[in-house]
Amino acid sequence: MDFIKNISRPIFPFTAIVGQEEMKLALILNVIDPKIGGVMIMGDRGTGKSTTIRAMADLLPQILVVQDDLFNSHPHNFELMSNEVKSSIENSQDIKTHLINVPMVDLPLGATEDRVCGTIDIEKALTEGIKSFEPGLLAKANRGILYVDEVNLLDDHLVDILLDSAASGWNTVEREGISIRHPARFVLVGSGNPEEGELRPQLLDRFGMHAEIKTVKDALQRVKIVEQRSNFDQNPSLCLNEYKMMQNKLKSRIIMAQEKLQFVNIDYELRVKISEICSELDVDGLRGDIVTNRAAKALAAYQDRDIVSLDDIKKVIKLCLRHRLRKDPLDTIDSGLKVDKTVDKFLV
């Protein structure tokens, strides 16, 4: 039985995915800077949304966590560790660590609030005076990726909880006067089919980026996609070996970008232009400005540069703003044409 448990299913390599550049770029930038706020991926059925997201998680380098900790606590960063680990460090206790793969947590459509946030055992707290906490999916997703397929069909209340945790990096569970708080910093990735309905504009606005996925029309490209998938299904190890060098190269590039990010600057003039575009498009609030600045910096770091360029902004701004133009829940999301026209007017 243990032997079966240890067998891991091969994951289709990220670098083998043909096309869907918008989705791939949005995922890479969110991994470089999780504070961008996640990505909403909307598109036709069977366009490789789930495959790409799982491939992204599999590509990432392993992370160092505290052993036997429920929250994948970081052994040094206070913002990414549980209160128990923090107390142990403050009391100079020895902490054992080990490496794990970046957590990839799937949120099922029928999940309850308790399943997502975790539950407090009130009986144990009252009878034994012990705070007993059963962690939920937010705890398991700390320092990883939380993937919600068909997020547009999820209860608005649950979407709100996910977005709050993703934005603050913490999850708080309260029951009968007992409160437990734990780190929950993750990249939130939602996907869905627009035919089944859109998220409310208020919730949509809180996703950092919005990628549109369309079915590939070019016959030659379709043949290439089918061939690659068939080759992988027939002999996964051969396919993984073929892309091993490209996978390692991309992994190194992402690590380098994560380290470089804090040193990247964006000129005042470019920041003004971003805000002028947001104002011209009548984007509510300042989230659009903030996310575009962050995404442009992440892209510059990914390109191994210290200064954000005009091209960086042009590449990310549509992803950061197109979903913020909807004022009416009955409106459809602009494909980006309105953003493109405004960008052409200001970024010359």
Per-residue pLDDT tens digits for 50-60: 888 888 888 88
Residues 293, 320: Cα–Cα separation, whole Å: 10
Distant-in-sequence contacts of 226-231, Cβ < 8 A, 24+ apart: 228/16, 228/18, 229/12
Cβ neighbours for 156, distance < 8 A, ≥ 6 positions apart: 200, 203
For the chain, where do the domains classified as CATH 1.10.8.80 start and end? 260-346
What CATH architecture does domain 260-346 belong to? Orthogonal Bundle (1.10)
Per-residue pLDDT tens digits for 24-63: 999 999 999 988 988 998 877 777 788 888 888 888 888 8
pLDDT value at 86 more than 90:
no
Per-residue pLDDT tens digits for 171-202: 888 777 777 888 888 888 988 877 777 777 77
DSSP state of 243: T
Residue with tokens 């599999």: 58
Residue of 129, 146, 162 lying closest to 72 (CA atoms) = 146
Band (126; pLDDT cuts 50, 70, 90): low
Six-digit token string for 336: 């980006």
- Beta strand 187-192 with 145-149 is parallel
Chain-centroid distance, C-alpha 216: 24
Label residue 171 left, alpha or beta by phi (over 0 means left) and psi (-120 to 50 means alpha).
Answer: beta
Q: Which CATH superfamily is domain 18-214 in?
A: P-loop containing nucleotide triphosphate hydrolases (3.40.50.300)
Which residues are tagged catalytic? 287
Given a contact cutoff of 8 angstroms between Cβ atoms, the answer to whether 36 and 294 are in contact is: yes
Residue 200 CB neighbours (<10 A): 14
Instruction: List beta partners, residue 171.
Output: 182
